[in-house]
């Protein structure tokens, strides 16, 4: 395991006081349940976590790499020892090695479900159960779980998010003098890490001794009934689900009192603890700005009146420059509308594409591979011709029954042979085809459309898919955004998109069709799909053909090319022609009326998206 004895000292980190306080509280009282540090890259999240190894050198500090295996995390059979002894010998996984210390997961929001599930199980029970090839062992695994993440790279599963007792939203230092000091300290550390650590050893020793004193006094701290009531009141005001919030609030307040060398908890301790405990428990679909709002509300609360976590406004300086979304303004003689966010995030359900045997580069889909390429995920019994030998599974099977030959420790029999099953990721390229004609300017249609696209873009970004945006209006179709994984670029293009002019739907479909075919030639194994947002009212054609019929004819090409499609119908007039529905039929696409989408219906409607397309 790596030695963090001479990592950048915890005490030397400048700023990030809230993050340091949360980590120290979790160190004093492990019953707090761990800490989640969320913020942009380069804000000392990992540096602070590793600094705990210096503050509590007697406690193990274990890091979980994103590419670790389930065996390495949980534990498994030690082949070297098993071969020598001729019987199964288990090795301890990362979870049990962290017992009594810290388990740190960087980019925890990108951790695969195969690794998240065992972590959740161990966090709940404090016991790591290893089951391999008929062998079962249980090991103690009580640790302080520390995670860090960049919220721009995707959200964390609610089940895992709730396991973190404390949450801290980290940002960059804005003061120029402070930033200069940060650079100076970092350069000094890189020039001579040993000397730099020696320069900070007195401060490190002071923190270490204070942690020891706080731990020793923790069980002596008194929790008054008034504080229990205040904790319950705060949790209720925050609409926190379940009762874990109150429990963690009280445990955190105990740690605060112990750290401050107080004989009992006071209400201010509960209020301070709420800044770390409640923000990420307010609701399941919490955004970063909501968390900042919750932190501000918790800080302003008083024992006389519980803070209103749901009504506090964001500070204007944290909001991007924008025009009032309730006002439609004409910019350069064209209508402009800001993004109107949907109340629930749209999701693309592409599970039916699992039949595709392709490598790709995305994160969304995992497909079984018949080749020797891809990640080894499990094994199968050996049948038929010799395939990709799963050496680990074969040896585990052979170790169980030993050897019939006294001269051999292990004897591999034909019944022990196992073949590897590999898994490859299938990339997905999503083209958003947006109707930006004049009809989209009425009744906030474009604002709602932008919100729908942005929601889909966020989902695509989290899944590491590539997205592109094509807009059509007047007499042309333009590629606003080539295929990219940058959500920031996409949002900027969407925000500036205006409406006006005729509806050249056929031009938009043709542009999208040409781009998708070009992408197919470059990436034959990737999946390409189209998301059309329009009311379907085509009224412009480059030929003498009827504009709508021209669009229908081009749409049929998507069907014949087996391009997966979704149509979001934005029609909202009193007399509905349902032309977008006809376009969807020609495309062979899933059809959804955008104005029908609500929080209650969206999940069931989008769940079926692309599930049964082109069976």
Residue 228: name the closest of 303, 307, 281, 308 by CA.
303
Q: What is the DSSP string of 23-38?
A: HHHHHH-GGG--EEEE
For 279-311, the pLDDT digits (tens) are 888 753 334 444 444 445 444 444 444 444 433
Residue 500: name the closest of 468, 475, 517 by CA.
475
Note whether 382 and 419 are within 8 A (CB).
yes
Q: What is the DSSP letter of 351?
A: G
Higher pLDDT, 548 or 428: 548
| pLDDT for the residue numbered 591 | 86
| pLDDT for the residue numbered 554 | 92
For 170-210, the pLDDT digits (tens) are 888 888 998 999 999 999 999 898 999 899 889 999 999 99
Degrees, nearest 5: CA angle 456-460-461 = 120
Least confident of 398-402, 434-438, 551-555: 398-402
Tokens of 34: 């761990």
Tokens of 615: 């069976």
Q: What is the DSSP letter of 479?
A: E
The greatest distance separating any two alpha carbons of the chain, rounded to the nearest whole angstrom, comes to 91
Please report where in the chains the tokens 């090991």 appear, as a residue.
139
Q: Distance between CA 146 and CA 33 in Å, rounded? A: 9
Note whether 255 and 32 are within 8 A (CB).
yes
Mean pLDDT of 445-449: 64
Degrees, nearest 5: CA angle 397-401-407 = 110
Q: Walk me through the domains of the chain, giving residue ranges and CATH numbers.
A: 10-218 (3.40.50.300), 221-317 (1.10.8.80), 329-351+427-607 (3.40.50.410), 368-424 (no CATH)
| pLDDT for the residue numbered 599 | 33
Q: How many Cβ atoms sit within 10 Å of the Cβ of residue 544?
A: 6
| pLDDT for the residue numbered 366 | 55
Mean pLDDT of 141-156: 82
Beta strand 418-426 with 498-499 is unpaired
Tokens of 49: 């976590």
Alpha helices in 437-504 (DSSP H): 445-462, 487-496
Q: Distance between CA 196 and CA 257 in Å, rounded? A: 32
| pLDDT for the residue numbered 534 | 84
Please say if the pLDDT value at position 23 is more than 80.
Answer: yes
Note whether 118 and 76 are within 8 A (CB).
no
Note whether 536 and 369 are within 8 A (CB).
no
| pLDDT for the residue numbered 528 | 83
Q: Distance between CA 301 and CA 571 in Å, rounded? A: 46
Q: Distance between CA 424 and CA 294 in Å, rounded? A: 41
Measured in residues, the chain has a length of 615
Q: How many Cβ atoms sit within 10 Å of the Cβ of residue 437?
A: 26
Q: How many Cβ atoms sit within 10 Å of the Cβ of residue 252?
A: 30
Residue 511: name the closest of 548, 470, 555 by CA.
470
Which positions are catalytic?
244
């Amino acid at each position: 395991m790596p030695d963090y004895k001479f990592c950048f000292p915890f005490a030397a980190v400048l700023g990030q006081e809230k993050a340091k306080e949360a980590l120290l509280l979790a160190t004093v009282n492990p019953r707090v349940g761990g800490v989640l540090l969320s913020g942009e890259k380069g804000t000392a999240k990992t540096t602070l976590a590793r600094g705990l190894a210096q503050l509590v050198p007697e406690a193990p500090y274990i890091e979980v790499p994103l590419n670790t295996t389930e065996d390495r995390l949980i534990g498994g059979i030690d082949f070297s020892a098993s071969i020598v002894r001729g019987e199964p010998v288990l090795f301890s996984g990362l979870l049990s090695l962290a017992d009594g210390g810290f388990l740190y997961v960087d980019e925890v929001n990108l951790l695969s479900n195969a690794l998240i599930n065992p972590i959740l199980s161990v966090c709940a029970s404090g016991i790591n159960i290893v089951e391999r090839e008929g062998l079962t062992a249980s090991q103690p695994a009580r640790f302080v779980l520390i995670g860090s993440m960049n919220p721009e790279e995707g959200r964390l599963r609610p089940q895992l998010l709730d396991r973190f007792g404390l949450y801290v939203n980290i940002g960059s230092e804005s003061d120029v003098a402070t930033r200069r000091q940060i650079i100076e300290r970092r350069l000094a550390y890189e020039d001579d890490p040993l000397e730099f650590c020696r320069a900070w050893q007195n401060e490190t020793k002071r923190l270490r001794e204070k942690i020891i004193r706080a731990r020793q006094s923790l069980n002596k701290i008194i929790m008054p009934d008034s504080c229990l009531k205040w904790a319950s009141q705060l949790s209720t005001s925050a609409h926190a689900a379940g009762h874990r919030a109150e429990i963690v609030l009280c445990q955190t307040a105990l740690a605060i009192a112990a750290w401050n060398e107080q004989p009992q908890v006071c209400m201010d301790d509960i209020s301070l603890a709420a800044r770390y405990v409640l923000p990420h428990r307010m609701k399941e679909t919490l955004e970063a700005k909501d968390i900042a709002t919750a932190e501000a509300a918790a800080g302003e609360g008083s024992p006389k009146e519980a803070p209103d976590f749901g009504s506090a406004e964001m500070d204007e300086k944290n909001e991007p420059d924008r025009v009032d979304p309730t006002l439609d303004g004409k910019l350069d003689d064209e209508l402009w509308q800001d993004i109107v966010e949907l109340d629930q995030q749209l999701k693309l359900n592409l599970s039916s594409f699992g039949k595709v045997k392709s490598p790709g580069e995305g994160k969304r889909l995992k497909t079984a591979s018949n080749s020797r390429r891809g990640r080894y995920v499990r094994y199968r019994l050996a049948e038929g011709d010799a395939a990709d030998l799963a050496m680990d599974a074969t040896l585990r099977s052979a170790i169980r029954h030993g050897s019939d030959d006294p001269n051999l420790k292990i004897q591999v029999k034909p019944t022990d042979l196992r073949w590897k099953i590999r898994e490859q990721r299938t990339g997905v390229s999503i083209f958003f085809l947006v109707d930006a004609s004049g009809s989209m300017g009425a009744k906030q249609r474009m604002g709602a459309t932008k919100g729908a696209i942005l929601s889909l873009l966020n989902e695509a970004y989290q899944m590491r898919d590539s997205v592109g945006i094509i807009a059509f209006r007047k007499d042309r179709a333009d590629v606003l955004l080539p295929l990219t994984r940058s959500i920031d670029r996409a949002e900027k293009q969407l925000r500036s998109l205006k409406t006006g002019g005729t509806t050249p739907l056929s031009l938009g479909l043709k542009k999208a069709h040409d781009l998708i075919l070009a992408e197919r030639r470059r990436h034959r194994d990737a999946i390409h799909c189209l998301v059309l947002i329009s009311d379907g009212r085509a009224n412009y054609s480059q030929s003498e053909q009827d504009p709508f019929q021209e669009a229908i004819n081009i749409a049929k090409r998507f069907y014949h090319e087996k391009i997966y499609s979704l149509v979001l119908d934005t029609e909202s007039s009193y007399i509905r022609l349902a032309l977008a529905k006809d376009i969807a039929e020609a495309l062979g696409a899933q059809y959804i009326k955008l104005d029908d989408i609500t929080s209650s219906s969206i999940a069931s409607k989008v769940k079926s998206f692309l599930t049964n397309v082109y069976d």
